[in-house]
Structure 1
């Protein structure tokens, strides 16, 4: 038979939800700031091609944050050490994406390569800082006494 009472969230699950939501909010703010500054400064520096270069960097910041959000969402029930390992693998995956994107756009005439590169570097550093701050400030207990 089914249990008529809905399952309540444990303290650890609630803590992971808070960490995930704070990463989501910080990530959205970071993406908006990187995209706005990259596109704005790019447009001021080199016009339309700079605007596109800033947009590429802002888009890559969004991809990096989404990768981290997916890792943390699926890893929340696997334990803190496993999540830390998955985030390390995610960092390597982001480095691979970074290299591929730089390789593909290095000779693109439709964007300013310098603006794109600098915006992407800011996106990489910014997402790493946001992830580190979120993990350090996140309070997730190691033991869940309410777990079934």
Structure 2
């Protein structure tokens, strides 16, 4: 009877393909939020003057926090145990939700910013960032399995996939 050896737990940085996907998603998201900020500030100025500019800047900050926290969490925990990765991602999600709730509660009574510009910038930036994350992941070349060091044969020498199917 063969003693099965457990696979070692991957360490951070072991999977360069996955890290590249997360880095690309983070880079694309950052540039997108910068672009939305520039457009949002210009449109905010035209629509609501200085309060529109403040609404766009605050909205861009919220969008950067929301979109960047998850991608950064994924990048920093790449290659760690799944439980740890989920704990970090859920902790980051909870943290960013609490920060946004507190920020919006503090801003609620203030009138130096335009709420509609803030909402529009947040909506466009967060939805666009999610689509960019999807694009980065769907185009990324990440293997589904990690090859083991034993090759494609099982210890007794048999092919694990069985005989090749015969055609016609």
TM-score range, shorter chain: 0.7 to 0.9
Q: Which has the higher helix share?
A: 1
Task: For 2:57 and 2:117, locate their aligned partners in 1 and report how far apart those are by CA, in whole Å.
Answer: 10
The runs of 5 or more residues in structure 2 that have no matched partner are 1-13, 150-168
Partner of residue 37, structure 2: 35
Partner of residue 111, structure 2: 109
The runs of 5 or more residues in structure 1 that have no matched partner are 1-11
* 1:18 paired residue among 7, 17, 20: 20
Task: For 2:138 and 2:91, locate their aligned partners in 1 and report how far apart those are by CA, in whole Å.
Answer: 18
From the superposition, tell whether residues 126 and 107 of structure 1 become closer, same or farther in structure 2 (CA, over 3 Å): farther
Aligned residues: CA RMSD: 3.0
From the superposition, tell whether residues 88 and 133 of structure 1 become closer, same or farther in structure 2 (CA, over 3 Å): farther
Greater radius of gyration (CA): 2
* 1:136 paired residue among 110, 115, 138: 138
Q: How far does residue 72 in structure 1 lie from its aligned partner after superposition? A: 1.3
Query: How does the TM-score come out when normalised to structure 1?
Result: 0.72
Q: How far does residue 103 in structure 1 lie from its aligned partner after superposition? A: 3.9
From the superposition, tell whether residues 22 and 119 of structure 1 become closer, same or farther in structure 2 (CA, over 3 Å): same
- What is the aligned residue count? 137
